[in-house]
Amino acid sequence: MRIAVIGPYGLPPLYGGIERHSAEIYSRLVAQGHQVTLYSRSSYSNFSGNYRGINVIRMPVVHARGWESVFYAPMSTIHALATGPYDVFHYHSLPSSSYAWLPRVFGKRVATTVHSIDWKHPRWGRIARSLLHVSELSAVSFPNIVIAVSEAVRDDLLSRHPGRHIVVIPNGVGPATEPEPPTVLSGMGYEPFTYVLYVGRLVSEKGAHVLIEASHALPDVEVALVGGSRYSDKYIYGLKNAAGPNVRFLGFRYEEELSALYRNALAVVVPSLEEGFSLTAIEAMSFGRPVIASDIPVLRERLGDRGFYFQRGNAAGLVEAIKRVRAEPELAAKAGASGKVIALRDYGWDRIATMTLDALAATGKNN
């Protein structure tokens, strides 16, 4: 099968769940003999060429928030149509799926994966939200098959588009790894189980500001924030201005450093206001760490009764949840151990890649 992938920012994955998702899934499809071309954005990295068997084509984009996909998605689609042939066009995200109709005009098979309901994100203004509503309609109307990364996303889509056939294929995690040398963690200035960890993009819908607010009530708990973003400088500036001395912004961390931070965290905090899946929650579970999360449906879906929940956006509730994890270490350890079993059993990338391949193959059966 020859697959054109449109929507991810790029490879190698520097940040972002969609990019991790793409690297892990498509490299496995390539290993099974399929051909995958992924269209990346020039704003993400300078890389083009072969990455783990995936052919990465770097497309020029307008470097402005909200405008990238306006040019990137149609240019990538036209390039793929002109240079193929591809058996399947696989779109990711609502903005890129606005153009899912174009390959269908030429008789091509199309799949789209909806990672989140973008128009609900608080950073978008009225006009952008209106355009994202149109993107959602395209994403569920034109593809041969629609994939949602969680039951919560599927149910949300079906509430507005009843009768659509939407399959759920979650994100995944890698296999368990051996512990890192202690110097990896100490080299970043941390001791085991003395800090809570946030991993993700620093954008408003991810709720890092809720954790910053909560940190003022817990001066003896260190807060490690891993991540960054593009086009959110104003938001990040506000976070740094509001942060106390117990908060550190670590930027992007990879490989051993990120694993060490996960493995040795007192707890991992996922304070999202809106979320499509939360790869961070699953990764934390895979390391056996307790997860403190806002009580939105998708996080309850991921964590079940293993999560320590607080009301969405409520910093005082987050403070109490962190205090509970500290006060009840046995309960926290039990929740972490249970989560690890679930994560490694149900969310392995090999299993997720097989589910994705089956879905792409099914595009030939669905008109």
Beta strands in the chain (DSSP E): 2-6, 35-41, 49-51, 54-59, 88-92, 109-114, 145-148, 166-168, 195-199, 222-226, 247-251, 267-270, 291-294, 308-310
3-state secondary structure of 348: strand
Tokens 């989140």 belong to residue: 116
pLDDT score recorded for residue 66: 63
pLDDT score recorded for residue 366: 62
Please, what's the largest Cα pairwise distance for the chain?
A: 61
Written as six digits, the tokens of 103 are 């390959």
Query: Considering just the CA atoms, what is the radius of gyration of the chain in Å?
Result: 20
The pairing of strands 145-148 and 166-168 is parallel
Is residue 72 within a helix (H) or strand (E), and if so which, with residue range? helix 68-83
> How far apart are the C-alpha atoms of 335 and 79, rounded to whole Å?
48
What are the backbone dihedrals phi and psi of residue 295, each rounded to the nearest 5 degrees, phi first?
-90, 45
pLDDT score recorded for residue 114: 97
Task: List the domain boundaries for the chain.
Answer: 2-172+348-362, 182-346
300 and 307 Cβ atoms separated by less than 8 Å: yes
- CA distances, 71 to each of 64, 201, 261 (Å): 11, 23, 38
3-state secondary structure of 269: strand
106 and 162 Cβ atoms separated by less than 8 Å: no
Residue 319 DSSP code: H
> How far apart are the C-alpha atoms of 363 and 90, rounded to whole Å?
10
CATH number attached to the domain at 182-346: 3.40.50.2000
Residue 304 DSSP code: G
pLDDT score recorded for residue 176: 77
- CA distances, 350 to each of 35, 117, 152, 345, 355 (Å): 17, 26, 23, 11, 9
53 and 30 Cβ atoms separated by less than 8 Å: yes
Q: Region of 39 please: left (phi>0), alpha (psi -120 to 50) or beta.
A: beta
> How far apart are the C-alpha atoms of 117 and 156, rounded to whole Å?
8
CB count within 10 Å of CB 24 equals 20
> How far apart are the C-alpha atoms of 69 and 231, rounded to whole Å?
14
Q: C-alpha angle with apex 251: 247 to 254, nearest 5 degrees? A: 120
Q: Would the CA dihedral through 61, 27, 185, 216 be positive or negative? A: positive
pLDDT score recorded for residue 121: 83
pLDDT score recorded for residue 65: 67
User: What angle, rounded to 10 degrees, do the helices at 151-160 and 126-141 form?
Assistant: 100
198 and 225 Cβ atoms separated by less than 8 Å: yes
- The CATH label, of 3.30.750.24, 1.10.1660.10, 1.20.140.10, 3.40.50.2000, for the domain at 2-172+348-362 is 3.40.50.2000
Alpha carbon of residue 84 to chain centroid: 29
Tokens 């189980």 belong to residue: 193
pLDDT tens, per residue, the chain with 367 residues: 999 999 999 999 988 889 999 999 999 999 999 999 999 999 888 999 999 999 999 999 877 666 677 789 999 999 999 998 999 999 999 999 999 999 999 999 999 999 999 988 887 888 888 988 899 999 999 999 999 999 999 999 999 999 999 999 999 998 878 999 999 999 999 999 999 999 999 999 999 999 999 999 999 999 999 999 877 889 999 999 999 999 999 999 999 999 999 999 999 999 999 999 999 999 999 999 999 999 999 999 999 999 999 999 999 999 999 999 999 999 999 999 999 999 999 999 999 999 999 999 999 876 6
Does this chain's domain 2-172+348-362 share its CATH topology with 182-346? yes
15 and 230 Cβ atoms separated by less than 8 Å: no
> How far apart are the C-alpha atoms of 347 and 34, rounded to whole Å?
22
Q: Name the pTM for this structure.
A: 0.93
